[in-house]
Amino acid sequence: MASSPAVSVPAPGVVLGRAGGALARGIAVCYLSLIVLVPLAALIWSSRSQGIQSFWDEVTKPEALAALKLTLGAALLVAAFNAVTGTAIAWVLVRDSFRGKGFFNAVIDLPFALPTIVAGLVLLELYGPNSPFGVDVAFQRTGLVLALLFVTLPFVVRAVQPVLLELDREMEEAAESLGAGRIAVFRRIVFPNLLPAILSGVALAFARAVGEFGAVVLISGNVPFKTEVSSVYIAGQIESDNPAGAAAVSVVLLLISLGVLLLIGAFRHWRTRHDR
């Protein structure tokens, strides 16, 4: 029984054999449990043991709620902005040709590689009180959004780029030869093909923006009700010794992350169905 490559259904385990396979599974599950599951279970347990009422009270405290609203609002804004700019950048990097394209392509990965606290520090220096351009957005929501745009930049670009590269140009050429304008070609041919990739990238960018801490902690100034996001609120609650408050908001963030992952799984499913 020869199995064809690139099929998602795995053939019976050959690597490591049957006993080795069980061992690999065992190790994998133990490692994941030890590193990821047990700590998260401790988090859920600790917020659960406070009782539902106290959990709800902590989440709906005015300061916690304001932080949560700001976090979600900023993350939505940043994700939507990335959908447009990320697609545009991917388009320029794939379809356009100019000197230094390789350089700009490499630069996209910078926010993945640069430590978030360094990103926060330079953005504060550049667009804060000492700004050489005279732009001061520090301790304002604009500064917060700017920091989030920096750290989330690669997600949509890197999700769209490979799909755009593999997109069949013949479809576009056929549409053009039939008299479709450039905008019509993009809207009717290119965009529908890119949409699942754009949405996965946007979802990852959204999740990242919801949880970001290092890049925003300096430039946002963490003013309650104004620029304090949930992750900073959690850190503050830990420092002021209110673990119940920190746990409640943490559980909300955990649920948001799980929801986003479910969505990405659905987009992935959608994309593979499109391929067939």
Q: 154, 248 in Cβ contact below 8 A?
A: no
Candidate segments 51-59, 136-144, 154-162, 219-227, binder of another protein by CB under 8 A: 154-162
Interface pick for another protein out of 54, 76, 243, 266 (rule CB under 8 A)? 243
Burial, 36: exposed, middle or buried (Cβ in 10 Å; 0-12, 13-18, 19+)? exposed
Q: What is the C-alpha to C-alpha distance for residues 120 and 138, in angstroms, rounded to an integer?
A: 11
Least distance CB 48 / another protein (angstroms): 12
Pick 104 or 270: Cβ nearer another protein: 104
Pick 77 or 235: Cβ nearer another protein: 235
Residue 85-124 contact track with another protein, rule CB under 8 A, x = bound: x--xx-xxxxxx-x--xx-xxxxxxxxxxxxxxxx-xxx-
Pick 189 or 252: Cβ nearer another protein: 252
Candidate segments 20-28, 60-68, 171-179, 189-197, binder of another protein by CB under 8 A: 20-28
Q: Which of residues 53-82 bind another protein (CB under 8 A)?
A: none
Q: Is 173 in the site for another protein (CB under 8 A)?
A: no
Q: 139, 220 in Cβ contact below 8 A?
A: yes
Q: Is 39 in the site for another protein (CB under 8 A)?
A: yes
Least distance CB 93 / another protein (angstroms): 6
Question: Which are the contacts of 216, defined by CB distance < 8 A and separation ≥ 6?
Answer: 120, 144, 147, 148, 229, 231, 232
Q: What is the C-alpha to C-alpha distance for residues 201 and 207, in angstroms, rounded to an integer?
A: 10
Q: What is the C-alpha to C-alpha distance for residues 57 and 269, in angstroms, rounded to an integer?
A: 38
Phi-psi region of 17 (alpha: psi -120 to 50; beta: other; left: phi over 0): left
Q: Which of residues 219-238 bind another protein (CB under 8 A)?
A: 230-232, 234-235, 238
